[in-house]
Structure 1
Amino acid sequence: MNAIHAAQADHPRPSRWLLLGGIALGTLDLLFAWAFWMPQGVPPLRILQSIAAGAFGDASFTMGGTSMALGAFFHYFIATAMVAVYYAVSRIWPALIRKPVLFGLPYGVVLYLAMNLVVLPLSAAGMPSFKNTAWVVSSVIMHAVFGVICALFSRRAARG
């Protein structure tokens, strides 16, 4: 191994940390959704299909494992993008990674609002319902935590 490869092994590229952040964020989000909805009789397959409904609408629920797999792919792609956006903005405004809790919490709330008031209404899934207060409140809180996760992985990526 030459010196360049040794240096790269000691300091992984930021993309590795951003990908790990997306995996961590996506997994925590799925675990949260499953823990909330499974006791109410909603199976994990349906939760992943509901993610794919953003692309396929109600047809997603008739596509079986195909929409489940696509839902998982979309979910992890979006989670990774959330981390990558935080990282990209932190390159311009370094305070975002110096104070990950201070800026990560509101970033997570902004993610919640953007997903529910912009992305979902523009998708085939349509405007979400906000009638389930427990789901809405717990989702906002969890998204605040997700924002901190984005900040922490972005900080790690910046330190490369």
Structure 2
Amino acid sequence: MSRLSGPLTAMIVGGLAAGTFDIIAACLSWAPRGVTPVQILKSIAAGLLGKGAFAGGAGVAALGLFLHFAIAMAAAGVFVLVATRVLPQLLERPFVWGPLFGLAMFGVMNAVVLPLSANPPQRATEPFHVLLGLFVHALAFGLPIGLAAWRFARPPA
């Protein structure tokens, strides 16, 4: 096994890729409404700090970025842990299980994490935004995690 293989590498690569693609998708989808990347990052920090986060500066935005990637890393860690310890079949079909995991994460984020946050956002009810959220979580979040696990966490052949 090379130094760049293993569950920890899968978690780091998957989490960084998923977090990067997800935040880019958020910035692109909110830009037409005039929402800046800094405002998006502050809204993430507001989940921990409350509405006061929006009055904060660069430090609050940096906290939002850190929290965003911490969540992505934790999600990747869960996938890799389950795939290497409980359901190794997840490593065999990353194009199926990665997107399904992303859809599950969409559900967990919207049904548990966001409602319990210090600044629960209004739920997106417009079909376009719901479908966009599902699409992004399946392909920009779950798929990179599944592919990283497939590439780095599979046992040697």
Name the TM-score, length of structure 1 as normaliser. Answer: 0.88
1:26 aligns with 2:19: yes
1:73 aligns with 2:66: yes
Deviations 1:41-79 (Å, cap 9, x if unpaired)? 101100000111110111110111121000000000100
Q: Cα–Cα, structure 1 residues 38 and 63, in superposed 2: closer, same or farther, change >3 Å?
A: same
Secondary structure of residue in 2 paired with 1:159: coil
Aligned to 1:139: 133
From 105, 121, 139, give the equivalent of 2:99.
105
- Whichever of the two has the greater Rg, that structure is 1
Deviations 1:18-46 (Å, cap 9, x if unpaired)? 11211111110111011111121101100
Q: Which runs of 5+ in 2 are unaligned?
A: none
For these two proteins, the number of residue pairs brought into alignment is: 153
Deviation at 1:13, TM superposition (A): 4.2
Asked if 1 retains the 8 angstrom alpha-carbon contact of 2:91 and 2:154, the reply is no
1:159 aligns with 2:146: no
Asked if 2 retains the 8 angstrom alpha-carbon contact of 1:84 and 1:154, the reply is no
Deviation at 1:97, TM superposition (A): 0.8
The letter of the residue matching 2:149 is S
Taking the aligned partners of 2:34 and 2:56, their CA distance within structure 1 comes to 20
Deviations 1:62-102 (Å, cap 9, x if unpaired)? 11112100000000010011111100110211110101122
1:53 aligns with 2:76: no
Aligned to 2:143: 148
Q: Let me know the Cα RMSD of the aligned residues.
A: 1.7
Q: Which runs of 5+ in 1 are unaligned?
A: 1-6
Report which of the two has the higher share of helix. Answer: 1
By relative contact order (CA 8 Å, sep 6+), the higher-ranking structure is 2
1:129 aligns with 2:134: no
